[in-house]
Amino acid sequence: MGSLADFQNEIYLNGLGDVLPELPTDLTALERAAEERMTPAAFGYVAGSAGTESTARANRDALERRRIVPRMLRDVAAPDLSVDLFGQTLSSPVLLGPIGVLTIVHPEGELAVARAAAALGVPMVLSSAASHPIEEVARANADGPRWFQLYWSKDREVAASFLARAKAAGYTALVVTLDTHTLGWRPRDLDQAYLPFLRSIGVANYFSDPEFQKAVGGPVDDSNRTAALLRWAANFGDPSLSWDDLPFLREHWDGPIVLKGIQHPDDARRAVDAGMDGVVVSNHGGRQVDGAIGSLDALPGVAEAVGDRTTVLFDSGIRTGSDVIKALSLGARAVLLARPYAYGLALAGEAGVRHVLRCLLADLEISMTLAGASRPSALTPALLTHP
């Protein structure tokens, strides 16, 4: 396989034939481009965050405040960005984070994302709230790696059934999202009175589930659709969950389990003490608690508390190669990319997601070598200025 940075040469060479990239190569420019192509409600759903959106801004601020101090003469001629994660070797420290309801962005939704992820060998974390069922997305991403994200339903039979289905469809790792037992207060969506689920988007896994169907008296059709949607809404998340409930996950999943939405070092310690295999330091892209700490500001404390005992992953605000460098330098083993790939999907379907991944990975490899690091293991806090 060629270097990730070959994409840069390819772009310049295409220019000799007057062929320019169809999408911006600065991934922060995608949001504005996507806004022109999406309905206002769908764009608001993806771009929006909780409250005054101060947490979303804090995520970017935390990333921009820390600066890289590049080092010279370190022989970076043979970069290798691969990382080991739960016994799998990934060619780069990047995964596609879980995003539900992707058919509001593009009709092919998660299927297009799965094909793009497979083309680049990047793991896709499939959301419980996907617009296509677990099994169908697995077929679109047959070579994997495939990870599954659980929204832990109040309906324990449904939650257990999701885990069994994911296992049977060859998903290898489980991400359990803890920060969204209830949707955050999201003014953009409230002002448009827009919730995709009530329009039957993002419920594919539920409506196709035998346990869910049992609970609503059979397959969902026009006769029981409203009852099914109400049941979904009532049981989607469970605010009563506590640390005592974690054994349920082990009973129903024999692979690695990662808890997503961890911000406090004590919660990270509890996760490890409870036998979990990893944590994702994340504030859900600022979509849940307005006023929450910028995600990168939470990372050093978590890494210090549990970094030598568990796998720490990171998301919320990742837009560039340098952002990945900063997260890895502060203790993350890998990062989850989220909104930028949804914008790539909006703009050009599968090809748009591939474009986003190729840009991020080329930028990452180039920026790492220019900073004097040819391996993720060379990224340490010493590479960064203090906050």
Give the E-state strand segments of the chain in sequence order: 83-85, 88-90, 94-96, 124-126, 146-150, 173-177, 257-262, 278-281, 311-314, 334-337
Give the number of residues in contact with ligand FMN, rule: CB under 6 A: 20
How many other CB atoms are there within 10 angstroms of residue 9's CB atom?
12
Task: Please say whether the beta carbons of 96 and 113 come within 8 A.
Answer: yes
Give the E-state strand segments of 24-90 in sequence order: 83-85, 88-90
140: β partners:
none
What's the closest the beta carbon of residue 238 comes to ligand 173, in angstroms?
13
Per CB under 6 A, 92 contacts ligand FMN: no
Please pick, from the candidates 47, 50, 101, 246, the single residue that binds ligand 173 as defined by CB under 6 A.
101
Task: Please say whether the beta carbons of 59 and 296 come within 8 A.
Answer: yes
What's the closest the beta carbon of residue 125 comes to ligand FMN, in angstroms?
7
CA distance 354 to 93: 16
What's the closest the beta carbon of residue 12 comes to ligand 173, in angstroms?
38
Structure tokens at 287: 């979509």
Residue for token digits 């206002």?
A: 40
Look up 132 and say whether it is catalytic. no
Sole window of 91-99, 243-251, 360-368, 374-382 interacting with ligand FMN (rule: CB under 6 A): 91-99
Sole window of 25-33, 88-96, 139-147, 277-285 interacting with ligand FMN (rule: CB under 6 A): 277-285
Residue for token digits 């996907």?
A: 130
What's the closest the beta carbon of residue 21 comes to ligand FMN, in angstroms?
22
Which partner in ligand FMN, ligand 173, none is near 338 (CB below 5 to 8 A by kind)? ligand FMN
Which partner in ligand 173, ligand FMN, none is near 260 (CB below 5 to 8 A by kind)? ligand FMN
Report in angstroms the alpha-carbon separations of 51 from 23, 41, 62, 121: 31, 17, 19, 36
What's the closest the beta carbon of residue 74 comes to ligand 173, in angstroms?
40
Per CB under 6 A, 123 contacts ligand FMN: no
Q: Among candidates 228, 234, 201, which has minimal Cα distance to 130?
A: 201
Please pick, from the candidates 63, 95, 129, 356, the single residue that binds ligand 173 as defined by CB under 6 A.
129
Sole window of 26-34, 140-148, 164-172, 312-320 interacting with ligand FMN (rule: CB under 6 A): 312-320
Per CB under 6 A, 324 contacts ligand FMN: no
Per CB under 6 A, 127 contacts ligand FMN: yes
Residues that bind ligand 173 (CB under 6 A): 100-101, 129, 180, 202, 284, 287
